[in-house]
Structure 1
């Protein structure tokens, strides 16, 4: 009996040792096999998990295929996600090539919080004009410190590899959007294995990520993948999102990389698949008229309805008017000087065309050449006369008879803010309040960062830029373009935003709250309901037109 008792006691100790083995806490079982993450102190991370087959070889320029491989050994999920291959605006060298073609992964970050057995989920789509950016560039330390939800970052194809399109069934485009969709399906199927609640997922994104969120939501079955969504400073109606002229750019891409004048889309795609991916992405520089302008030469398109696995077959405006989209609570936002992302770039010094000075001064001589690319109406107007008339009209509206220069910088910044961000935010909200059935919310943020994206792009700190693109979003997900050290007011705002996301994911009735303020629904409202968020707090306001 004593011998048996000893064996039982040793067995209990052995089982106890296994149960307390720290390895057990970072091991996760998926259908493909086991993976091992990392213990980061106050959270666990499981990074670079493939959700699709590598989009290389015959799978390049095709809709993504779900990941089918199995792991005989434990998969190492401790390596940070690689950026998808891109021509990166924020690489300062002339050679801006970065990333890898094999990049379709998700990364999961789980807080340690003894008060919860499971967590709501925030799925994150990074920004970057559909051309650049990466999941790893948006940090998660602020979010994990609060410990309110599981964060999943999605990587997706960018630039010509993600969005080259001839507008027909042979090369329809939108591969990056189809990647995002497949990643959302992966989250729905697998997040419970990490302790996530698949029924409590909110999708968020900033800039092109915000536009992507909106485009995902325009799929009628979106509600099967997420219960709510927030688009920060980007939505499907922004003029740089769904563009015309994609077919011409696709064939020009082929010509640049040595495919000649391809006779049709099928032969063009066949040729593009044989070229080094680095050559296809490096060709982006041939579509830029200067610096990184236009910032989105390749992006989402409307696909023909006969395309297998088509993502978007109608203009977003028509989709919303049809009412056949994901009827889930949605919030759309902007900041008061969103256009600083575009305007600040023009403050750089340069020496071209035989003279030196700031780029903004050269607008006086080259406005009619550059404006259609800066503001994305080059391919939406029917004639050169229409293009020039519009260029003249908007210059007159914002500058009158004054010249472009440092002294008129704020007027130019307002022009970019209105045309590229604010006006289409209002238009989107207007459509949702008329044709939507689920709550539609909006906020405007006004609280400048000490250092932000405008400072990074202009290389100047002597100009007051106001509240620029990302000054709100990067309080949630840290980014190298702004100060990582937050002021006391920004720390409070950061916590409020993080709590806002967590509560939105858990809300059963679609209520959205920021601090003590409860957002007001725009659906059916005669005036726009807009929550104003600033250093001094928050306040619900009504407007006939956005301020």
Structure 2
């Protein structure tokens, strides 16, 4: 090639680079090497990026280790994230090697960088996955980068003997490592590491709160959002975990072992799918308890423990992340749990809610998560009797009294503990804490899907607000009022990611801070609008 020809080629390359941009947005350079994402029309995606070494073999039941492998070839980040290994009814799905983050970046020519929303999925610490939380709604708005986190579930993520051998909380430690990865790497994708909000729903919301209770959380995120789940919910911090861990071992043929170290080694030798499947033997009903394994308070002897005190003790100590927090519930949150009682106990047989009349004292402690919280059977029975009298009086459990049972589940499992958290933060918090309650039933929500019934008015059930932000295949397309609310939620999240000082708004309403307030401040969001409500005493 002549010198003039060579110069011509260089000129063409320079012009092409200048017009089309000097960097291919699908190619990203990380410390591990180069990865390639996908162009999805109005956004880019970079999926299934490992942040931890596979938690298999010797790394099962251990704290996660940062991913350190080098990619000799361009890493293919175009595959949706796999589910972490889990069991639903009689089906086992997912993989044990699942610790990844997936990143979704809007195409928005008006900005060079974006705030970041790190999303921790729900599923009772036992099921669900990053791939099940939709992102089309938020990508259409184009206001932030979304990162979805996968973490270990069920026994593989949370089995604990309460000592140094099998301390538990592996799933929470996965989340923490993922948040650290996001902080260090998100700038490579156009994210703003100084403007990160961590958000979760249900067990994801409780996980966010538990992450927030780490004293150095402010080094990882600017703010946090817990939707229909917080660390004080009775189904979050597990008691009796040691018994369940050894019972799991017995089911798997490790029952002859009487020490934690030997149990751990035996469980490590078992196929992961067998461990996940064995959990069914710990249930008293097909879906009860809905979270047989979950977070625990670790032994004080555990080095680098995630949680060494109860959430209440941590809040009272004042040694937790000092960042703004939003916490919420919906008016019939308990419908997710109560609706399963409308199923038939066997084909053509009585419903479980009808059988509850004879089995209330047996099932209630598992349904409402106080089986291991009461010291004696008498104390447990007294509490069961008190609950039934408060919500049903002398009436029987039936389809006709279902709504009262659902309200019991809402109060015990979600609402009361949300208010308990706010009470503690009002006294011990330092950064703003905002709260909302959502009351706007979906035409088709979780309860209708679980029961396949449309003859019951379930109200605003678990997820009816969350699925306006991150869509779900469970529900129908959004109504016009829901589309407006969806946009307001997404704008609220975006603003909270860069939140410094108030006021924080939703639509035309401004949130009121609970910290230091003499009154309990709650923003009520309904189909027709929003309204601030204040209470001297809890409702």
TM-score norm. by structure 2 comes to 0.98
Aligned to 1:11: 10
Q: Give the distance between the partners of 1:314 and 1:16, measured in 2 at CA.
A: 61
Q: Matched residue of 1:181: which SS?
A: helix
Is the aligned partner of 1:72 residue 2:69?
A: no
Q: Secondary structure at the match of 2:345?
A: strand
1:123 aligns with 2:118: yes
How far residue 331 of structure 1 moved from its aligned partner, in angstroms, is: 0.8
8 Å Cα contact 1:320-1:435 kept in structure 2: yes
What is the rounded CA distance, in whole Å, between the counterparts of 1:537 and 1:437 in structure 2?
30
Alpha-carbon separation, structure 1, partners of 2:501 and 2:15: 43
User: Which one of the candidate residues 139, 155, 161 is aligned to 2:156?
Assistant: 161
| 2:245 is equivalent to residue 246 of structure 1 | no
2:262, 2:3 → 1: CA distance? 76
The correspondence of residues 429-508 of structure 1 with structure 2, limited to 5 A, is 429-483=422-476, 485-508=477-500
User: In the aligned structure 1, how far is the partner of 2:14 from the partner of 2:79?
Assistant: 30
Superimposed CA distance per residue, residues 208-258 of structure 1 (whole angstroms, 9 cap, x where no aligned partner): 000000000000000000010010000000000002100000001111111
The CA distance in 2 between the partners of 1:359 and 1:48, in whole Å, is: 40
Alignment counterpart, residue 293 of structure 1, candidates 283, 288, 291:
288
Q: Where does structure 1 lack aligned partners over 5 or more consecutive residues?
A: 89-93
- Off by >6 Å, runs of 4+ in structure 1: none
Preserved CA contact (<8 Å) 1:351 1:357: yes
Distance (whole Å) between structure 1 residues aligned to residue 131 and residue 109 of structure 2: 27
Counterpart among 182, 186, 195 of residue 190 in structure 2: 195
Does structure 2 conserve the Cα–Cα contact (< 8 Å) formed by 1:121 and 1:152?
yes
> Match of 1:320, SS?
helix
SS where residue 280 of structure 1 aligns? helix
The answer to whether the 8 Å contact 2:38/2:78 transfers is: yes
1:509 counterpart = 2:501: yes
Q: Is residue 30 from structure 1 mapped to residue 30 from structure 2 by the alignment?
A: yes
Q: Distance in 1 between matches of 2:414 and 2:368?
A: 11
Q: TM-score, normalised by structure 1?
A: 0.96
- Residue 375 of structure 1 corresponds to 368
1:160, 1:315 → 2: CA distance?
21
Aligned pair 1:518/2:502, yes or no?
Answer: no
* 2:400 match: secondary structure: helix
Native 8 Å contact 1:338 1:417 kept in 2: yes
Give the structure 2 partner of residue 541 of structure 1.
533
* 3-state secondary structure, aligned to 2:494: helix
Question: Is the partner of 1:456 in helix, strand or coil?
Answer: helix
Distance 1:22 1:42 in 2: 20
Contact map agreement 2:247 2:255 (CA 8 A) in 1: no
| Deviation, structure 1 residue 95 | 2.1
1:283 to 278, 286, 295: 278
Deviation at 1:130, TM superposition (A): 0.2
Alpha carbons of structure 1 residues 377 and 146: separation in structure 2 relative to 1, 3 Å: same
2:413 counterpart of 1:414: no
CA contact (8 A) 1:63 1:309 kept: no
Unaligned runs of 5+ residues in structure 2 are none
For the 8 Å contact 1:110–1:144, the answer to whether it is kept is: yes
Is 1:102 matched with 2:101? no
3-state SS in 2 of match to 1:350: coil
Q: Is the 8 A contact 1:399 1:411 kept in 2?
A: yes
**8 Å Cα contact 1:448-1:468 kept in structure 2:** yes
State the superposition RMSD in angstroms: 1.5
For 2:179 and 2:532, locate their aligned partners in 1 and report how far apart those are by CA, in whole Å. 32
Instruction: Give the 3-state SS of the residue equivalent to 1:442 in structure 2.
Output: strand
Give 1:404 deviation, angstroms: 0.3
- Cα–Cα, structure 1 residues 366 and 437, in superposed 2: closer, same or farther, change >3 Å? same
Matched residue, 1:56: 56
- Deviations 1:44-92 (CA, angstroms, capped at 9, x unpaired): 000000000000000000000000101000000000000000112xxxx
How many residues are paired up? 538
For residue 350 of structure 1, report the CA deviation from its aligned partner: 2.7
* C-alpha contact 2:84 2:98 (8 A) present in aligned 1: yes
Please name the residue that 1:91 is paired with: none
In 2, are the aligned partners of 1:85 and 1:158 still within 8 Å (CA)? yes
SS at match of 1:25: coil
Match of 2:341 in 1: 346
